[in-house]
Each structure stands twice: as structure tokens, then as C-alpha cells.
Structure 1
Amino acid sequence: MVDKKHLDYQQLAQAERDAPPAYDDAVLSQPLARPQMTIAGARNPLAKLVGLDGQRDWNHGLCDCLERPGLTVGACCCPCMVYNHNRTRLTHLSQSGQPNPAPSYCGLSCLLYALAPQVAGIGQMALQCVARFQTRNRYAIRGNAVEDVLVGAICAPCSLVQESREIEEEEQALRAGVLGADAPPPPVEGAYRDDVGVEERTVEN
């Protein structure tokens, strides 16, 4: 009768002599990063790159306000009216998903913005900061509260123009029939668009 302990020892010795398993099918490349979310269609009509944080940059920089001289002059001379105009348009978009057919330049927001400097001297900056935050939040634009405060305090007219143009581009996209469900998704970081077609190709590092 074969000793069970001796048999176990033989099996263990044979296993130690056998070659280790091959790893021919091992994955040698890292998986590609994917964004947590994308904003497509009317809220990103220029198809700006969306980062892994699900946010993008502004369509136009603060200094690009000179591209719209009429709007910039209005924001410098009558910022309360431009502020009210932005508020009525953004509120209507948020509530109905459609452009405001008759946005107003005069209203309660205009009055509050005009009287805000009398409230501890920072009321206007506070209104501007909140407005900028709400605009960024709607369009998933990258930024933070500190940046909103600094821009509202130092360059409020440029901020008003920047916000107005962002809202205007969504309105134009909606009027043109560009909807989030039907529009192609914007490119994400790590991808590029074909110069000839519209197909997106992934760039592998």
C-alpha cells in the first residue's frame, strides 16, 4: 500500500519542477481614460473639448469681448441692462429649454444691479459672482468661486459679455434645431477629429 504522505510529496515535487504558466495573453497597455460625462448639442455648440472632470472651457475668453464692440460698450456704459438681459434669457432657458422670445433689458434684476453698489459696496460684485456661477453651472464650464469673485470685481463688463455670448450660442443652436439628443458628442481629451470626415479617432499614448 502506497503511503499517502509519500504520494503527496511526489505530487508537490512534480509541481515545483513544472514550468510556470505562460502569460502570453497579458494586457500590456493601460486602458484609455474616459470622461465621466459629456455635454453635447445646444449647450456646447462649438464642440469644445470636455475633460475627465466633465467640464470644458469658455467658448470665448475674457479679452475676446472686443470681438463684440457693441455689446462691450453696452456692458461698460449700462451694465445693469446687460445683466438683466442675461438673467431673463438664462432663466427662460433653464425653465423652458427654449430661447426667450422677448428678453428684457429693464426689470427687477436691472434695478438690483444698479442699486447694488450702495449695499456695503460689494452688492454688485456679489450679483455678478452668482450670475457667473450659474452660467458656468449650466454649461459645465471649468472654474471656481475664487475666480468668479476676482472676475466680478476686476472685470465685470468683460464677464457680462462672456456670459452673454455663451447664452447667445445656446439660443442660436436651439433655433437651428440642434438638440442634445440628436447632436454628435463633442471630442474628449485624448481624441481628435478627422480632417476629412467627422469620425473621431482615439489617440493612444
Structure 2
Amino acid sequence: MSNEWQHGLCGCFDNFGLCIISYFVPCYQFGRNAEAVGESCLMCGLLFLVPVLDIILGAHIRTKVRETKGIPGSFIGDLVLWFCCPLCALVQEAQEIQDIRPAAMVISRE
């Protein structure tokens, strides 16, 4: 599969509300992203508050989002991205997850 991210890394303002939530309460948004890919929302949200661990966990969740959508990349690339620009990565992942959810809801209703 050769899918790409639907929103750019600097496309934070594609969804202004999501951008604001991610900026002011990043642990909440991170927990929601983690829950969407099968991880514990509460545990990931709390662990996001631990320095260094937040970068490693962020890269892990980003890898899961990429694998779900079939987007090429590597864990090392995700780690570097989370190290350099964690909030941009967080918003991009959240936007990608929002694009996944409507399709999943439509499939489950049929």
C-alpha cells in the first residue's frame, strides 16, 4: 500500500478546534489518539506527562496510526518527528484518525 497522510505535518489549522485542544491539553488528545488505535486512553494520557517517555510513546502510537492507514515510514522516523515537533505530529495523527472513524462507522452500520 502506498497511502499518504491526508493532512500535512504543518496542517494544524485544517481543524482549528482540534489544534486548540491539542495545544492546551495535549495529554487528553494523546489519550484519544491512543484509544483509537487500541491502547488505553487513560494510561497513555498519564504517561504522556512523563518527559522522554512521551516521545517514545508518541512514536509508538504514530507507528500504529501509520500501519492502520498503510502509510510508509519507520519507527525511527516517527521518533525523530516526535522529538522535533510533537504537537504538529499529535494534530496530524488526530486528523488522520478522524478520517478513519467515519468510514468505520459506515461499515459497522451496514
TM-score (norm 1): 0.48
What is the CA–CA distance in structure 1 between the aligned matches of 2:45 and 2:26, rounded to whole Å? 8
Q: Using a 3 Å threshold, how does the CA distance of structure 1 residues 79 and 174 change in structure 2: closer, same or farther?
A: same
| Residue segments in structure 1 that go unaligned for 5+ positions in a row | 1-53, 93-103, 179-205
Q: Of 82, 87, 92, which aligns to 1:152?
A: 82
Is residue 22–residue 90 contact of structure 2 (8 Å, CA) maintained in 1? yes
The one-letter amino acid paired with 1:88 is E
Superposition RMSD in Å = 2.0
What is the CA–CA distance in structure 1 between the aligned matches of 2:69 and 2:14, rounded to whole Å? 21
Shift of 1:66: 1.1
The one-letter amino acid paired with 1:87 is A
Q: Which residue of 2 aligns with 1:57?
A: 4
Q: Of 58, 70, 78, which aligns to 2:17?
A: 70
Structure with a larger share of its residues in helix:
2
Give the fraction of aligned pairs with identical amino acids, expressed as a percent: 29
The one-letter amino acid paired with 1:160 is L
What is the CA–CA distance in structure 1 between the aligned matches of 2:14 and 2:80, rounded to whole Å? 22
Shift of 1:62: 0.7
1:82 is the counterpart of 2:12? no
Shift of 1:90: 1.8
Q: Which aligned runs of 4 or more in structure 1 are off by greater than 6 angstroms?
A: none
Higher-RCO chain (CA-CA 8 Å, sequence separation at least 6)? 2
What is the CA–CA distance in structure 2 between the aligned matches of 1:177 and 1:133, rounded to whole Å? 24
| Residue segments in structure 2 that go unaligned for 5+ positions in a row | none
1:1-205 equivalent positions in 2, closer than 5 A: 54-91=1-38, 107-114=42-49, 116-117=50-51, 122-177=52-107
Secondary structure of the residue aligned to 1:91 is coil
TM-score (norm 2): 0.86
The one-letter amino acid paired with 1:74 is I
Shift of 1:76: 1.6
What is the CA–CA distance in structure 2 between the aligned matches of 1:91 and 1:145, rounded to whole Å? 18
